[in-house]
Amino acid sequence: MSSPSPWIRKLTPITESLLAGVVGLVIGAFIMLAFGYNPLAAYRSLFVGSVGSVYSWAELFANATPLILTALTFAIAMRGGLFNIGAEGQLYMGALAAVSVSLLHLPAPFNWIVAILAAMVAGMIW
């Protein structure tokens, strides 16, 4: 038996992800129907609310950026052979420290530098 071609091997993870998404949408539709809601209206609202306007796109990117950067830090650690289970906590502790230090109303040129340093230290401690 021969092994699948490289094209098929690359297509399989994509197909699995798409199939998982479709199955999730179908199961969600059945749950909504069971509770008396219209799944098409719900999915339309979900789509329009997330990418239906310029504001929605801006909100999408503003909310996704910290999560993407946190996932990137996890990926870098994994590539180095380390398992970083605290990446999300480091994000939250760093954000809390940066906001806390920013409320001290330091001079503008130093405020962002001190906030970044505080975020780094808080993430490191976490």
pLDDT in tens, 34-79: 999 999 999 999 999 888 889 999 999 999 999 999 999 889 988 9
Higher pLDDT, 100 or 16: 100
SS3 at position 97: helix
Tell me the percentage of the chain whose pLDDT exceeds 70.
92
Give the containing element (helix H, strand E) for 7. helix 6-34
The position carrying tokens 């340093």 is 117
The rounded Cα 85 to chain-centroid distance in angstroms is 15
Provide the pLDDT confidence category of residue 12 given band limits of 50, 70 and 90.
confident
Contact criterion met (CB below 8 Å) for 94 and 119: yes
Report d(CA 63, CA 87) in Å as an integer.
Answer: 16
